Chains A and B, each alone.
Chain A
Amino acid sequence: MVEVHSVSKSYGLKAVVDNVSVNIEKGKITSFIGPNGAGKSTLLSIISRLMSADTGEVLIDGQKVKETKSRDLAKKIAILKQSNHLSLRLSVRDLVSFGRFPYSQGKLTKEDQVYIDEAIRYMELEDMQDKYLDQLSGGQKQRAFIAMTIAQDTEYILLDEPLNNLDMKHSVQIMKVLRRLADELGKTILIVIHDINFASVYSDYIVALKDGKIEAQGTVNEIITSLTLKRIYGMDMPIQEINNQKICVYFS
């Protein structure tokens, strides 16, 4: 379980994350939604120790993130940020292999290779594993990065806007993979996501942030209501039920 205890973070005078407390359950997909600048990415960065909080603390499985060795944490939690511009020319396989670094420290064992192959297969990258990243499209690159996080084989996977720059087909593909990771392998997945309908269809829990505070949290049925969404986004969203899934019609 991830426990966030009254975490705050400000840049200058602006509190980006303002006294946030939240518990995230194991083995589920939890989506963080909310308007731009609500503090979603910052919160994810704090949970994954990429940033330190000004006050408050984060516990993962009862252990304080701040007091855990970074190398040990790397086997427990993986984060992928939203802009992954690499100036390095790496092959897909090399990139995925680096996901094993916390275990191998550079010397890949046979076991590592198995994980690498598996991650590549999971993201359907077999055909292009020897291509360089700069030869791939945005969507393929994103899949390669996610494969790296999968190879890292952590209980917790944090993805900051994984659907950025992806077309519908690949967005669905990635969400389905995340679903499988949670359902089949019991991974705990935290994602920041903008498309509310992807959040609605694929997540178990939704945490809505606004102005650095938690505006609402709960199951999909609790959060995806016109009333709650109006509070979060400040706009009217009629909600239709299609095949038992709640779809927000926010286009007009």
Chain B
Amino acid sequence: MKKRYLVVMLILLSFVSLFVGVTNISPFDLFRFDDHQTQIFWQSRVPRLISILMAGVTLSISGFIMQQLSRNKFVSPTTAGTMDSARFGILISLIVFTSASPIEKMIVAFIFSLAGTFLFMKILDRIKMKDPIFIPLVGLMFGNIISSITTFFAYKHDLIQNMSAWLQGDFSMITAGRYEMLYISIPLVVIAYIFADKFTIAGMGEDFARNLGLNYKQAVNIGLVIVALSTTLVVLTVGLIPFLGLVVPNIVSIYKGDNLKNSLSDTALLGAVFILFCDILGRILIFPYEIPIGLTVGVIGSGLFIYLLMRRRDYA
């Protein structure tokens, strides 16, 4: 897969994305929109496209960083409890501050997702059996435990309906004013690029890192903060998008290797293209209705995940 093709696909799909929807907006009208069309275009279509792209980029990069730091190809925000912990944080912020502002929600959710991710990494340290398939299973179980705790409290406080909004990623609710928080992920991507070498060295193991004079713990901590914060931002604005951070980095790793500095741009591009494709699919399959992105990515992503698992087995 050449980077050129990814860029072309990205531009093409972005264009399609802007002109698919219930309100008929055709590219031919671009310079003679009526008021309604202008409003839909700038209030809904553009914000939607931007949030899709940013969510795709950050989740894929987060996944890549996580796989390096945990030294396991199958660890990602979905399979390490990060997403579930973020959702748990959102619930707590709703219970504790009844009318939590977006920033309050973000901070609480971030703290929870960070704590959850750290906890998972601690569990990982303790596990003697480093089987590549066993570890994501532990992560999924861990995530499910947190998820059931969330459901329990949500049920007690009558917040089930609210919480389900964050269970299923959905871009149809994105309008101007409801997604801008995602812009925080842009500096995160920049930081990820700056630290790319350090993450890769940390991924070679603690002894390797120390031999090269790298502060291993610091690199891991910075990586996990990036992962937890970007995951939180996506869960808060869009909802859970499973398997994206798992599938995209694995595909890039196959054709481009694991040197994060080399693979970062491909990961970002492929992540954006993949999620954009899933979103457009979800919007046209049952037109004029929509299949939420969490479901389309979940179905396609889990299919690819199974394929990757089988492929891995063949190697071993």
| Cβ–Cβ contact B197 & A106, under 8 A | yes
Query: A81 vs B205: C-alpha distance in the bound complex, in angstroms?
Result: 11
Interface residues of B in 249-265 (CB under 8 A from A): 253-254, 257-259, 261-262
Query: A70 vs B72: C-alpha distance in the bound complex, in angstroms?
Result: 27
Residue of A nearest to B253 (CB): A89
Interface size on A, residues (CB 8 A): 30
Residues from chain A with Cβ under 8 Å of B198 in the complex: 106
Contact of A101 among B72, B197, B203, B205 (CB under 8 A): B197
Contact of A81 among B132, B203, B207, B258 (CB under 8 A): B207
| Cβ–Cβ contact B212 & A87, under 8 A | no
Given the known A-B contacts A94-B259, A106-B197, are A88 and B212 also in contact in the complex, defined by CB atoms under 8 Å? no
Query: A247 vs B259: C-alpha distance in the bound complex, in angstroms?
Result: 44
Query: A98 vs B213: C-alpha distance in the bound complex, in angstroms?
Result: 11
| Cβ–Cβ contact A70 & B259, under 8 A | no
Task: Let me know if A102 is at the binding interface, CB within 8 A.
Answer: yes
Task: Let me know if A49 is at the binding interface, CB within 8 A.
Answer: yes
Query: A70 vs B206: C-alpha distance in the bound complex, in angstroms?
Result: 13
| Cβ–Cβ contact B201 & A98, under 8 A | yes
Task: Let me know if A78 is at the binding interface, CB within 8 A.
Answer: yes
Task: Let me know if B200 is at the binding interface, CB within 8 A.
Answer: yes
Interface residues of B in 220-260 (CB under 8 A from A): 253-254, 257-259
| Cβ–Cβ contact A74 & B259, under 8 A | no
Residue of A nearest to B71 (CB): A87
Given the known A-B contacts A94-B257, A98-B200, A132-B257, are A74 and B211 also in contact in the complex, defined by CB atoms under 8 Å? yes
Task: Let me know if B204 is at the binding interface, CB within 8 A.
Answer: yes
Interface residues of A in 62-79 (CB under 8 A from B): 69-75, 78-79
Task: Let me know if A91 is at the binding interface, CB within 8 A.
Answer: yes
In the assembled complex, the CB of A45 is this many whole angstroms from the nearest CB of chain B, namely 8
Task: Let me know if B3 is at the binding interface, CB within 8 A.
Answer: no
Task: Let me know if B215 is at the binding interface, CB within 8 A.
Answer: yes
In the assembled complex, the CB of B314 is this many whole angstroms from the nearest CB of chain A, namely 13
Interface size on B, residues (CB 8 A): 27
Residue of A nearest to B132 (CB): A87
| Cβ–Cβ contact A87 & B201, under 8 A | no
Contact of B212 among A69, A89, A98 (CB under 8 A): A98
Query: A116 vs B150: C-alpha distance in the bound complex, in angstroms?
Result: 52
Task: Let me know if A188 is at the binding interface, CB within 8 A.
Answer: no
Residue of A nearest to B211 (CB): A79
Q: Which of A79, A88, A101, A132 neighbours the largest number of chain B CB atoms within 10 Å of its CB? A: A88
Task: Let me know if A152 is at the binding interface, CB within 8 A.
Answer: yes
| Cβ–Cβ contact B211 & A106, under 8 A | no
| Cβ–Cβ contact B215 & A88, under 8 A | no
Residues from chain A with Cβ under 8 Å of B213 in the complex: 69-75, 101-102
Task: Let me know if A50 is at the binding interface, CB within 8 A.
Answer: yes
Residue of A nearest to B194 (CB): A106
Residues from chain A with Cβ under 8 Å of B262 in the complex: 94
Task: Let me know if B82 is at the binding interface, CB within 8 A.
Answer: no
Task: Let me know if A203 is at the binding interface, CB within 8 A.
Answer: no
Q: Which of A45, A71, A89 neighbours the largest number of chain B CB atoms within 10 Å of its CB? A: A89
Query: A91 vs B47: C-alpha distance in the bound complex, in angstroms?
Result: 40
| Cβ–Cβ contact A88 & B203, under 8 A | yes
Task: Let me know if B214 is at the binding interface, CB within 8 A.
Answer: yes
| Cβ–Cβ contact A88 & B204, under 8 A | yes
Query: A59 vs B200: C-alpha distance in the bound complex, in angstroms?
Result: 30
Contact of B257 among A81, A90, A98 (CB under 8 A): A90
Task: Let me know if A31 is at the binding interface, CB within 8 A.
Answer: no
Query: A101 vs B201: C-alpha distance in the bound complex, in angstroms?
Result: 9
Query: A89 vs B262: C-alpha distance in the bound complex, in angstroms?
Result: 12
Given the known A-B contacts A81-B207, A89-B253, are A74 and B212 also in contact in the complex, defined by CB atoms under 8 Å? yes
In the assembled complex, the CB of B186 is this many whole angstroms from the nearest CB of chain A, namely 21
| Cβ–Cβ contact A152 & B258, under 8 A | no
Residue of A nearest to B215 (CB): A70
In the assembled complex, the CB of B70 is this many whole angstroms from the nearest CB of chain A, namely 9
B-contact 0/1 string along A82-109, CB 8 Å cutoff: 0000111111001000110110011000
Query: A99 vs B208: C-alpha distance in the bound complex, in angstroms?
Result: 10
Query: A247 vs B204: C-alpha distance in the bound complex, in angstroms?
Result: 38
Residues from chain B with Cβ under 8 Å of A94 in the complex: 257, 259, 262
Query: A151 vs B314: C-alpha distance in the bound complex, in angstroms?
Result: 34
Residues from chain B with Cβ under 8 Å of A75 in the complex: 213
Residues from chain A with Cβ under 8 Å of B157 in the complex: none
Residue of B nearest to A108 (CB): B197
A-contact 0/1 string along B72-106, CB 8 Å cutoff: 11000000000000000000000000000000000
Task: Let me know if B62 is at the binding interface, CB within 8 A.
Answer: no
Given the known A-B contacts A88-B68, A88-B200, are A70 and B210 also in contact in the complex, defined by CB atoms under 8 Å? yes
Known: A74-B211, A88-B258. 4 other contacts (CB 8 A): A50-B211, A70-B213, A87-B72, A98-B204
Complex A-B, nearest 6 residue pairs according to Cβ-Cβ distance, in ascending order:
A74-B213, A106-B197, A71-B213, A88-B258, A89-B258, A101-B212
15 inter-chain pairs at a CB distance below 8 angstroms, sorted by A residue, are: A45-B207, A70-B213, A70-B215, A74-B211, A79-B207, A86-B204, A87-B71, A87-B203, A88-B203, A90-B257, A90-B259, A98-B200, A98-B212, A101-B197, A102-B213
